[in-house]
Amino acid sequence: MTRQTSPRQPRRRQIGLWLIGARGSVATTAICGLAAIRAGVTDATGCVTDSLDLSSAVFPGWGDFVVGGQDIAPTSLEKEAGRLAAAGVLPQSILPLIADELRAADAAIRPGYDPVTDRGPQAHAAARQIADLERFKQANDLASVVVVNVAAAEPPAADWPEYRELDALTRILASPAARSLTPSSLAIYAALQAGCPVVDFTPSPGLSLPAITELAQQRGLPYAGRDGKTGQTLLRTALAPMFAARGLRVLSWSGTNLLGGEDGANLADLGQARGEPQAKARGLTALLGPDVTAPLHVDYVPDLGERKVVWDYVSFEGFLGTRMSLQFNWDGYDAALSAPLVLDLARLVAGAHRAGETGPLSELGFFFKDPLGSTEHRLAEQAAALSQWVRRLS
Amino acid sequence: MTRQTSPRQPRRRQIGLWLIGARGSVATTAICGLAAIRAGVTDATGCVTDSLDLSSAVFPGWGDFVVGGQDIAPTSLEKEAGRLAAAGVLPQSILPLIADELRAADAAIRPGYDPVTDRGPQAHAAARQIADLERFKQANDLASVVVVNVAAAEPPAADWPEYRELDALTRILASPAARSLTPSSLAIYAALQAGCPVVDFTPSPGLSLPAITELAQQRGLPYAGRDGKTGQTLLRTALAPMFAARGLRVLSWSGTNLLGGEDGANLADLGQARGEPQAKARGLTALLGPDVTAPLHVDYVPDLGERKVVWDYVSFEGFLGTRMSLQFNWDGYDAALSAPLVLDLARLVAGAHRAGETGPLSELGFFFKDPLGSTEHRLAEQAAALSQWVRRLS
Amino acid sequence: MTRQTSPRQPRRRQIGLWLIGARGSVATTAICGLAAIRAGVTDATGCVTDSLDLSSAVFPGWGDFVVGGQDIAPTSLEKEAGRLAAAGVLPQSILPLIADELRAADAAIRPGYDPVTDRGPQAHAAARQIADLERFKQANDLASVVVVNVAAAEPPAADWPEYRELDALTRILASPAARSLTPSSLAIYAALQAGCPVVDFTPSPGLSLPAITELAQQRGLPYAGRDGKTGQTLLRTALAPMFAARGLRVLSWSGTNLLGGEDGANLADLGQARGEPQAKARGLTALLGPDVTAPLHVDYVPDLGERKVVWDYVSFEGFLGTRMSLQFNWDGYDAALSAPLVLDLARLVAGAHRAGETGPLSELGFFFKDPLGSTEHRLAEQAAALSQWVRRLS
Amino acid sequence: MTRQTSPRQPRRRQIGLWLIGARGSVATTAICGLAAIRAGVTDATGCVTDSLDLSSAVFPGWGDFVVGGQDIAPTSLEKEAGRLAAAGVLPQSILPLIADELRAADAAIRPGYDPVTDRGPQAHAAARQIADLERFKQANDLASVVVVNVAAAEPPAADWPEYRELDALTRILASPAARSLTPSSLAIYAALQAGCPVVDFTPSPGLSLPAITELAQQRGLPYAGRDGKTGQTLLRTALAPMFAARGLRVLSWSGTNLLGGEDGANLADLGQARGEPQAKARGLTALLGPDVTAPLHVDYVPDLGERKVVWDYVSFEGFLGTRMSLQFNWDGYDAALSAPLVLDLARLVAGAHRAGETGPLSELGFFFKDPLGSTEHRLAEQAAALSQWVRRLS
């Protein structure tokens, strides 16, 4: 995005939005969408913040952002946007209208950390990323930079001692021999060291290591995560409370996800490996108690392209033991569901930072499958908490 | 049900539950279920009040009710219960265990008003019903009687002048020539005249006539209605807020209901006649705005027996105009979903009456498709309002 | 399409394909698809004839057709093709590659009969249409012209005496006062008078009047119809035989169709009016016997665009009275399912004509909901009959 | 079943039906159903043979069978029938009417081979089973005995040399040290040695070992298998040919099976272990070609009881590359779908045996997922082949 100052807020400095995984489908959709909203060629359908009555004294507007980021992929944003348009995620017609903004964002993307080629102590890689962030901030005279992780999902974190406290982690990062952090955690470590609030939109280890949240706490930074709630879990957290509220006993909640997409194969494998089924079952347990059978599968079906097709079958017991069932199908574009939330989170976390909030922003649990700082999974309650928090800050 | 005093509350007088349409499937299921709960052979799955932490000083317990009612049908409760068990609504095994309670309730059912055979001024029929209620109350030494309408649905009310104010209605009822009120409204008129709080669980004119609510107001009685929210609308009021909360634009919400059941044919015809499609579309409008296409059909499919099978297809627009869809299927037993709510409402409205509440109990909107006294249709907000109201009264 | 002679068959004269309703979505898709196949930019997926091993001595190839037609709409094919591409029915990318062919076809489309503006005896309108067809044939030196009706559906035929025999019809058409035939039947009358074999791909009266088929018989022409089998009925005729073959007793088969599209509203109204539900139920009766409950609805849901979304719920009884169910959802583009069959039928009927077949081509029942000349509705049996017929003619 | 001679066929000797796994849910449902049909309290819905016009000179009638079998489970048929009735597979009401027949069948069930407790050479176990069969035959004066394997599924066969030819197998069976055959193969080996035609209704190694089919060939016995086609595969073989016949290109066919039942857990594990997904994908390959993505899952969901719930999502490409989809849900009772086919197969294979057929009965492929002796998977073609075969033999 260009450095142009929004005409409505002439004196205020802009806010950076720094995307980890900036050339992926979610980031590209977010960048295109932000540009299209600013160009006035689309509205903010799918975004939450436009209906939240945000105080402009606290929260930045769509025009207040400058976009940059990092990625190890070399594909240009323009090319990725073209691919997404062919796949139905973006309308072809907006591409010429946002070409300049895409090029500007593309120019602001720096190489990410590649564990295969990036030798040497990880502290060096972190230092490079910190320098990139500071350069981005200075070059654009930014008030602050919100860092959002939307890079490809990584396997679950190992249980290593240096993950448990910051001192140990710092020592390991300095060691030339050891490479401990996954790319997502390393990028978030660097972001926090650079004084940036962070959003972790993925199920990667990212922000979840105690040593990393210790760093956020030490630096007095707010953060939010994790794992954007965009499809099956969104529906589950809207529907499971219905059964609970009506005293209906859910016996089983079986789910299948079919997904195409460039890294669908990876995700399907990972889904099993990193225990996504167990994680989602935990979510159901929080909502419905421990006795629900909840098998879950993730399948890679390349022809679906950027679509995600979900089937859930819920078997429940009602009055006098009657057996009944609910099933639903969801057919959506994951990137189109994620991208507007990424933009919402950038506004909200930038506002929280300006308002002096620190630590986990539990009131943003509305956006996440696995909300940091909160045990509330019910969607309506999360929406109410978000509204109230926005009012408090505004 | 017997007059036995609950051992836990030795000094308190019992509460009557008087069912309009007492031999129908919903009433029979409620009567069997209450008996089974009291006999300890089932729990209250599907009931809401057990998890609401009701104060026993205000709200009656399961053991505090004596059941009676009225119906024009002659079938015994025992026979109807047998039919429902064969249809899967009740477990066969409980029937012998509740036979005594069923017989007692059966003996307390009085003939309803039959517009075909019941000639003479409707005031006479009303007087007979009032007398029935008073006899029921005295015979069982009841503290009060809650009247719940679960009779078969009637066509929508005509726009007659006597429906608009009580004086005009009173004059018409006294006239030997005119028969103005439908059976449901007449029964509710009688109930209010007898000083009983009323629940209208059907979409019939019942409680909805201004002259009738004027009577309730005049007598200082609480009432709640209308049209129990048990299937498709329950799901819609759980799911539609999800789209709204996420800024997703619903374009169409198409629905089909397949239902068997003894009066399914009547309901299918009536569904079109009384504008159920339009009514449900209005519910969606309240939740999603006026621009949603919402065709709806009700079909009679006899082989489904007591089951109701629903299909809803929701087409919505997300970020940058992407088109996505959600569809769901619901396969349930209507009587098994309705009956526990009837029992819940009996407890709640009896408590409200004891606590001196009057007029429409808007906080009971949670239970109804078309909540009297409230414009809130969102299920989670309705559940929260109910909880808060219970706490206030307790 | 251009008059270029196919290089593989240098001496053979080409065949005309004359589309009634040539500017509608099915015709436009067929014209674009034929051009794209000939341009080598797509294969014939969705067509049946490529896998049928047609003898090229009898049946024309894709390169052998010249396209023309009639329509009362003024929209150019190019514009309609653009609209269909935006709606997902055609790939945007082929449009520039077939622009010349589209323009050529567009130039060969003549005004259709408009009952509102076209006064005078219908015989005059018929004469004009016959002249159009003959001009088309001569101008392109065609061996023959196959006429296919793909115009918008019309209400069911009245029961008028002139529909019963050709003499009476001829007299009425000559009368200046009377306008008897619907546009579809008039166009087919003209086609037969011009010596052209006819396909009726719609549920309109079209080819179904006895006086019209008498004309076909008198002229010794083959014909095929009616009402292309492309979605719900296609699935039903594939699935219903499964139940029959396995001795499973279908109790009810309930269906809902949601369709957008330019004339969706018309179709939804018409669907009820012309008894489509009853017609489809008759199809089920032919397959499953008379005792199947079969409610069916057609709804207009504009946001679906060119898509058609179907839900069918089948309730059936198995061994010892067990109740089981099957439900399916179909999400398709009607024009994309119809167009290749139109092209197939053009090839097959042209071949039949060349081979001297006359009367109803019952072996083409595979393509139709309501197969003329056949009572066989089972898809697999229809496919086998088609194969055998092709072998006989080849 | 009793030895009573059917009154219609006074002079003919009866036929034995010997069930391997005779106390399981499929066998029990088959035994109950046969008894109920003979008692005239149910019809043969779900059976195929009643509509096939079988010659009674060749094929036995329902009244011609005497039932026996083997199982390692001790549960009585009566108890299992009670359990199945509670689970909805059998109507409670028939149990008293067939009690005598159940007891008679129960008395004719002999202990099966238990690899855990049955030490010694497998040839001894085989000899015992042969003796059981011969005793059953003599005791009931049977013309022949058809043996049907409906025991629990076993893991896939290892690739052992003795499975490849009968001589090697015979040597191994005689060895005291080795235990080579799984229970299903051992029982089928014994059946063939006893001169009985065999049906393998399971996916177990059973009949599929070359050494076993060599034995059948050597003994001149007919046999049929394998793996009854009752749910998802039944639908797939009805629907996949529709896509092929219409030239529609299936891109992916994703499936999920949810099943309860006592051995559901075993099946879910086994499903993955024995490559059921790959096997079903092979079926699709036979029908649709090799390029179809076909993930498949089997989940154990205990609350479903005897039900099996299936979801299939088919993504396909039509004309000009349009993407469309079909999805279906199947909710059935596996035992109720299998049992009537077991009875059908008993009649058909007994008839084949009487008619002198030998080797794999490829015309019975209609009944099986993995038809022995045939590569035809299309349901309609299989039904036609079956009809023709029956006519040939009749």
SS3 D115: coil
pLDDT in tens, B171-210: 999 998 888 899 999 999 999 999 999 999 999 999 999 9
Residue B6 in this model has a pLDDT that exceeds 80: no
Are D110 and D70 a contacting pair, CB within 8 Å?
A: yes
Are A282 and A227 a contacting pair, CB within 8 Å?
A: no
Q: Which residue in the set B45, B90, B331 is minimally distant from A317, CB to CB?
A: B45
User: CB D329 to CB A329 under 8 A?
Assistant: no
Residue A302 in this model has a pLDDT that exceeds 50: yes
Rounded alpha-carbon distances, angstroms, from residue B246 to A45, A132, D252: 9, 34, 31
Please state, in angstroms and rounded to a whole number, the distance separating the CA atoms of residues D263 and D298. Answer: 13
- Report the percent of chain D where pLDDT is more than 70: 92
pLDDT in tens, D126-158: 999 999 999 999 999 999 999 999 999 998 888
User: CB A379 to CB B339 under 8 A?
Assistant: no
Residue C11 in this model has a pLDDT that exceeds 70: no
Q: What is the 3-state secondary structure (H, E, C) of chain B?
A: CCCCCCCCCCCCCCEEEEEECCCCHHHHHHHHHHHHHHCCCCCCCCCCHHHCCCCCCCCCCHHHEEEEEEECCCCCHHHHHHHHHHCCCCCHHHHHHHHHHHHHHHHCEEECCCCCCCCCCHHHHHHHHHHHHHHHHHHCCCCEEEEEECCCCCCCCCCCHHHCCHHHHHHHHHCCCCCCCCHHHHHHHHHHHCCCCEEECCCCCHHHCHHHHHHHHHCCCEEEECCECCCHHHHHHHHHHHHHHCCCEEEEEEEEEEECCCCHHHHHHHHHHCCHHHHHHHHHHHHHCCCCECCEEEEECHHHCCEEEEEEEEEEECHHHCEEEEEEEEEEEHHHHHHHHHHHHHHHHHHHHHCCCCEECHHHHHHECCCCCCCCCCHHHHHHHHHHHHHHHC
Question: Which one of B319, B325, B388 would you mutate to disrupt binding with A, by most A Cβ within 10 Å of its Cβ?
Answer: B319
Taking only residues 260 to 319 of chain C, the set having a beta carbon closer than 8 angstroms to any beta carbon of chain B reads 293, 295, 297, 299-304, 309, 311, 313, 315, 317
Mean local confidence (pLDDT), B250-267: 83
Mean local confidence (pLDDT), B299-307: 94
Pick the residue from chain C with its C-alpha nearest to B291: C303
Name chain D contacts of A251, Cβ cutoff 8 Å: 303
Are B181 and B122 a contacting pair, CB within 8 Å?
A: yes
Are C173 and C126 a contacting pair, CB within 8 Å?
A: yes
pLDDT at A87: 92
Mean local confidence (pLDDT), B307-335: 97
pLDDT at C157: 87
pLDDT in tens, B108-117: 999 999 988 8
Mean local confidence (pLDDT), C329-335: 96
Q: Which residue in the set A252, A258, A297 is minimally distant from D313, CB to CB?
A: A258
CA B165 to chain centre: 24
Please state, in angstroms and rounded to a whole number, the distance separating the CA atoms of residues A254 and D145. Answer: 43
Lowest mean pLDDT among A352-356, B284-288, B323-327, D148-152: B284-288
Q: Which residue in the set A293, A299, A303 is minimally distant from D295, CB to CB?
A: A299
Mean local confidence (pLDDT), B252-268: 80
Size of interface B-C (CB pairs under 8 A): 67
CB atoms under 10 Å from CB of B385, counted, come to 18
Residue A47 in this model has a pLDDT that exceeds 80: yes
Mean local confidence (pLDDT), B311-333: 97
Q: Which residue in the set B295, B303, B315 is minimally distant from C315, CB to CB?
A: B303
Q: Which chains contact B through at least 3 pairs of Cβ atoms less than 8 Å apart?
A: A, C
Average pLDDT across chain C, whole number: 92
Residue A97 in this model has a pLDDT that exceeds 90: yes
User: CB C317 to CB D45 under 8 A?
Assistant: yes
Residue C273 in this model has a pLDDT that exceeds 70: no
Helix then strand then coil, in percent of chain D rounded to 5, is 45, 20, 35
Residue C9 in this model has a pLDDT that exceeds 80: no
Q: Which residue in the set A300, A302, A311 is minimally distant from D311, CB to CB?
A: A311
Phi, psi dihedral angles at C119 (to 5 degrees): -85, -175
The tokens for A191 are 């972001």
pLDDT at A269: 61
pLDDT at D273: 46
pLDDT at A130: 98
Report angle CA C269, C28, C277 to the nearest 5 degrees: 25
Size of interface A-D (CB pairs under 8 A): 66
Residue A4 in this model has a pLDDT that exceeds 50: no
pLDDT at B304: 96
User: CB A319 to CB B247 under 8 A?
Assistant: no
Q: Which residue in the set D319, D324, D378 is minimally distant from C340, CB to CB?
A: D319
pLDDT at D2: 43
pLDDT in tens, B360-383: 999 999 999 999 999 999 999 999
Average pLDDT across chain D, whole number: 92
Pairing of strands D144-149, D198-200: parallel
Name chain C contacts of D347, Cβ cutoff 8 Å: none
Q: Which residue in the set D295, D297, D327 is minimally distant from A301, CB to CB?
A: D295
pLDDT at C283: 78
Residues contacting B326, CB < 8 A, separation 6+:
A235, A328, A329, A330, A331, B239, B313, B314, B316
Q: Which residue in the set C319, C326, C332 is minimally distant from D336, CB to CB?
A: C319
The tokens for B373 are 């006294």
Pick the residue from chain B with its C-alpha nearest to A243: B46
Determine the length of chain D: 394
pLDDT at D281: 67
User: CB A337 to CB B318 under 8 A?
Assistant: yes
User: CB B252 to CB C301 under 8 A?
Assistant: yes
pLDDT at C158: 87
Question: Which one of C53, C246, C337 would you mutate to disrupt binding with D, by most D Cβ within 10 Å of its Cβ?
Answer: C246
Residue D4 in this model has a pLDDT that exceeds 70: no
User: CB A252 to CB D303 under 8 A?
Assistant: yes
Q: Which chains contact C through at least 3 pairs of Cβ atoms less than 8 Å apart?
A: B, D
Residue A1 in this model has a pLDDT that exceeds 50: no
Orientation of helix D77-86 relative to helix D99-107, angle to 10°: 130
Taking only residues 236 to 265 of chain C, the set having a beta carbon closer than 8 angstroms to any beta carbon of chain D reads 238-239, 241-242, 245-249
pLDDT at B179: 81
Å between C336 CA and nearest CA of chain D:
5
pLDDT at C262: 63
Name chain C contacts of D247, Cβ cutoff 8 Å: 44-48, 50-51, 340
pLDDT at C116: 87
Residue A26 in this model has a pLDDT that exceeds 90: yes
Question: Which residues lie across from D19 on neighbouring strands?
Answer: D69, D148
User: CB C320 to CB D42 under 8 A?
Assistant: yes
Residue B221 in this model has a pLDDT that exceeds 80: yes
pLDDT in tens, D358-372: 999 999 999 999 999
Please state, in angstroms and rounded to a whole number, the distance separating the CA atoms of residues D177 and C232. Answer: 61
Q: Which residue in the set B295, B299, B301 is minimally distant from C301, CB to CB?
A: B295
- Report the percent of chain A where pLDDT is more than 90: 83
Lowest mean pLDDT among A381-390, C269-278, C327-336: C269-278
| Start-end of H helices in chain A | 25-38, 77-86, 99-107, 122-139, 166-174, 183-193, 210-218, 232-245, 264-273, 276-288, 334-354, 379-393
Q: What does A231-298 look like in DSSP terms, one character per residue?
A: SHHHHHHHHHHHHHHTT-EEEEEEEEEEE-STTHHHHHHHHHHTTHHHHHHHHHHHHH-TT-B--EEE
pLDDT at D3: 43
User: CB D319 to CB C337 under 8 A?
Assistant: yes
Q: Which residue in the set D90, D239, D319 is minimally distant from C336, CB to CB?
A: D319
Size of interface A-B (CB pairs under 8 A): 176
Residue C87 in this model has a pLDDT that exceeds 60: yes
The tokens for B31 are 């009567």
User: CB C256 to CB B309 under 8 A?
Assistant: no
pLDDT at B285: 85
Pick the residue from chain A with its C-alpha nearest to D329: A327
C91 close contact with D: CB closer than 8 A: yes
- Report the percent of chain D where pLDDT is more than 90: 83
Mean local confidence (pLDDT), B86-115: 95
Are D371 and D364 a contacting pair, CB within 8 Å?
A: yes
Pick the residue from chain C with its C-alpha nearest to B303: C251
Residue D269 in this model has a pLDDT that exceeds 80: no
Higher pLDDT, D280 or B155: B155
Please state, in angstroms and rounded to a whole number, the distance separating the CA atoms of residues D56 and D64. Answer: 10
- When pLDDT is cut at 50, 70 and 90, the band that residue C119 belongs to is confident
Å between A300 CA and nearest CA of chain D:
8
Residue A6 in this model has a pLDDT that exceeds 70: no
Interface predicted TM-score (ipTM): 0.93
Mean local confidence (pLDDT), A284-308: 91
User: CB C309 to CB B313 under 8 A?
Assistant: yes
User: CB A239 to CB B241 under 8 A?
Assistant: no
Å between A318 CA and nearest CA of chain B:
5
Please state, in angstroms and rounded to a whole number, the distance separating the CA atoms of residues C267 and C261. Answer: 10
H helix or E strand, kind and range, residue C235: helix C232-245
- When pLDDT is cut at 50, 70 and 90, the band that residue B2 belongs to is very low
Name chain D contacts of C330, Cβ cutoff 8 Å: 324-326
- When pLDDT is cut at 50, 70 and 90, the band that residue D343 belongs to is very high
pLDDT at D299: 92
Are A327 and A339 a contacting pair, CB within 8 Å?
A: no
pLDDT in tens, A193-224: 999 999 999 999 999 999 999 999 999 999 99
